[in-house]
């Protein structure tokens, strides 16, 4: 093999090897950039969902429902607490009645 051909072959091999390294680094950088962008967009979407009026209305609706349920329960316990108090009082012994 002539020395010129050998040198050209070595030079071309080094060029291909260097190009391969750059391509791999570029591909890795692109994947990392894509993942960062996807994570950023997901976070922004989550923040937007939390800021929507519908979300706020649903939260208010649930809060009002729980408050109404608590008021309803308080009303019932207030009405029936008198019965519970009366049931706790001891009942006087009633003398037996003769049926004769």
| Tens-place pLDDT, residues 55-98 | 788 888 889 999 988 888 888 877 777 666 665 555 566 666 77
- 76 lies in some domain: no
- 8 lies in some domain: yes
The percentage of residues in the chain with a pLDDT greater than 70, rounded to a whole number, is 73
- 10 lies in some domain: yes
Between CA 78 and CA 72 the distance in angstroms is 10
The structural domain count of the chain equals: 1
For the four alpha carbons of 14, 18, 24 and 27, in that order, the dihedral sign comes to negative
- 94 lies in some domain: no
Q: Are 49 and 55 in contact (CB under 8 A)?
A: yes
Token pair, residue 16, equals: 């291909």
**Residues in Cβ contact with 49 at an 8 Å cutoff, skipping those fewer than 6 apart:** 55
Tell me which residue range forms the domain holding 4.
1-60
- 86 lies in some domain: no
């Amino acid at each position: 093999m002539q020395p010129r051909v050998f040198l050209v072959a070595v030079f071309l091999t080094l060029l291909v090897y260097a190009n391969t390294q750059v391509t791999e680094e570029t591909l890795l950088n692109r994947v990392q950039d894509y993942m960062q962008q996807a994570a950023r967009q997901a976070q922004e979407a989550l923040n937007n969902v939390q800021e929507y009026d519908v979300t706020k209305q649903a939260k208010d609706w649930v809060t009002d429902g729980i408050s109404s349920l608590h008021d309803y329960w308080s009303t019932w316990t207030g009405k029936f607490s008198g019965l519970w108090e009366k049931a706790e009082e001891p009942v006087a012994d009633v003398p037996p009645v003769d049926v004769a």
